[in-house]
Structure formats: structure tokens, C-alpha cells
Amino acid sequence: MLRADKLCKAFGALQVTRDVSLDIPQGARHAIIGPNGAGKTTLFNLLAGELAPDAGAILIDDRDITHLPPNRRARLGLSRSFQKNNLFPRQSVQDNLLLADIAARGYGYRFWPRLAARKDAYRKAETIAGQIGLVDDMQRGVAELSYGAQRQLEVGLALMAEPKVLLLDEPTSGMSPEETGRMLRLIDDLPRSLTVVMIEHDMDLVFTHADRITVLNYGEVLMEGQPEEVRGSDAVQETYLGGEAQ
């Protein structure tokens, strides 16, 4: 479903992504982990189109999207959430979701019909709000939401696009244990047809919720495998889990 072929990216002399290849099948729950500075976020930005790779290719559904801007990738089914909440802070939850629907389905050019007449968009916003547990907060402003609820909305915006591939950038970052639990249930409840790729810091989350893990170190793929394999790998223990335990 999502493939990366020998991606490379350097910032000046610093090579932050080196020959990274991924092949993520439909329905996968794929995690990308690695110590700070391993190049996770850069890889993510390459996949989402915020950065252009120096070399390599990115394919979604066998279609080459290497040179497409983020908005074109989104329209092709690649949707992302952000590590730092990236919402429409002056708007209500409902309006946030509606804006996502307009952008994702490309009817923003319609300047005469009323948005209020798009019952389908309101129904979809209602459905997604149910999925992210914010159905009772539809009319509340984003600024009034708790941090955890904002994180949920962050994922909700990405879901409004009805993506094929969902890229989650540290979905539980900064969350309390309860909020993390809620986010994990949200991720568990996503339809199995959806391909989910996440960057995550929380090891428990990665080992219990991913079915495949790519470990990055110094911009390279250190190893890729199932959670047990990764957990059992000496190299991973040394570079990452050991470091984490300090």
C-alpha cells in the first residue's frame, strides 16, 4: 500500500535519511521507532511530502508520489496527524472537521451553495466525532478542549479525509496515562482496511499495538521485524532500549 524505495535526505553535510526502504501492506499497523535524532520525523515529512527527498521514491498503491506536494498526496489517500497539535484554534470541533472535509474532498471552490446545506459533511463529522470520542463537544471551541481531546481531534482531522494510509506522528505525545489509553483504543478501533503508520516514543504502545516495527538509527534502517524480533534483538537493545532505560 505504501512503499518507500531507498529514500535519502541530507541537510547540508548531515545525512538524516540514508537508503530507507519500507514496504507496508494494506491493513498493517506499522511503527517507526528510534532514538532522538534517528531521523523519524524527517522520514515522516518525506512520506507526507513536506520535504522532498534527495534520492529514492515513494509509492502509494503503486503510484509514484515522490514529486507530489502534500495536498496532492492527501487527495490520493495519504493522511497525516501532527506531533504538535495543528488544528484550527479559533473554530469549534465541528467546524474543524468540516474544514477537513472540504479540503479532503475538494469542494472548497463552491462559493454559492451554503455549507450548511451539506448534510453529508455534517453526518460525516458526526461519525468521526463519535470515533474520536468528541461527539458531545461538537460545538465547543478547540481552545476549550483538554490537551488530550485536542490530540484526538488531531487524529479526527486526518480521518475526515477517509485515507487509505494514516500517518500518525507520536499520537500519544504529552498525554496522561488515561488520555494515552483513550488514544490507544481509538487506534485499535480504526477499520482494519486502513493502513496505519506511526512514529512512537512509547515502547509499550509500540510492542502491543504494532504488528511490524522499523527501527531507525542515524538515518538508517537498523532492523525491521515483528515486535518479538525487535524486542529480542541485541542491536536494538543496545542502541535504543538500553538508551531508553538510562
Partner 1 sequence: MAHVLQFRHALALVALAALLIFWTQAGYFGMEILAEIAVFAILAMSLDLAAGYAGLVSLGHAALFGFGAYMFALFTVLWGWPASLAVVLATLATGAIALIVGAVVTRVQGVFFIVITLAIGEMGYEFFFKNRALGGDDGLSGISRLDLSAIGVDLNDPGIFALFLIVVAAITYLLLVRLLASPYGAVLTGLHDNPGRMRALGLPVRTYQTSIFAFSGALAGFAGTLSAQHTQFITPNLLHWTTSGEVLVMVILGGLGTLVGPVIGAVVLTLLRHELSNVTDYWGFWLGFFLILIVLGGKNGIVGWLAAGWNALRGARPDDDRAADEPAEGEEASDAAR
Phi, psi of 87 (to 5 degrees): -110, -170
C-alpha cell at 51: 520535504
Contact between 71 and partner 1 by CB under 8 A: the answer reads yes
The binder of partner 1 chosen from 9, 30, 40, 80 (CB under 8 A): 80
Interaction pattern, residues 134-173, with partner 1; x per rule: CB under 8 A: ----xx-x--x------------x--xx------------
Tell me which amino acid residue 143 is. Answer: A
Contact between 108 and partner 1 by CB under 8 A: the answer reads yes
Contact between 63 and partner 1 by CB under 8 A: the answer reads no
The binder of partner 1 chosen from 59, 102, 203, 223 (CB under 8 A): 102
Taking the C-alpha atoms of residue 32 and residue 46, their distance in angstroms, rounded to an integer, is 14
The binder of partner 1 chosen from 46, 47, 48, 60 (CB under 8 A): 48
List CB contacts of 43: < 8 A, sequence separation 6 or more: 4, 7, 17, 20, 32, 216
Task: Give the three-state DSSP class for 192.
Answer: coil
Asked whether 158 and 131 are in contact (CB, 8 A), the reply is: no
Closest to partner 1 by CB, 79 or 239: 79
C-alpha cell at 108: 472548497
Contact between 57 and partner 1 by CB under 8 A: the answer reads no
Tell me which amino acid residue 189 is. Answer: D
Residue at grid coordinates 536494538? 236
The binder of partner 1 chosen from 6, 67, 110, 192 (CB under 8 A): 110
Contacts with partner 1 by CB under 8 A lie at 48, 50, 69-72, 74-75, 79-80, 82, 86-92, 94-95, 98-100, 102-116, 118-119, 122, 138-139, 141, 144, 157, 160-161
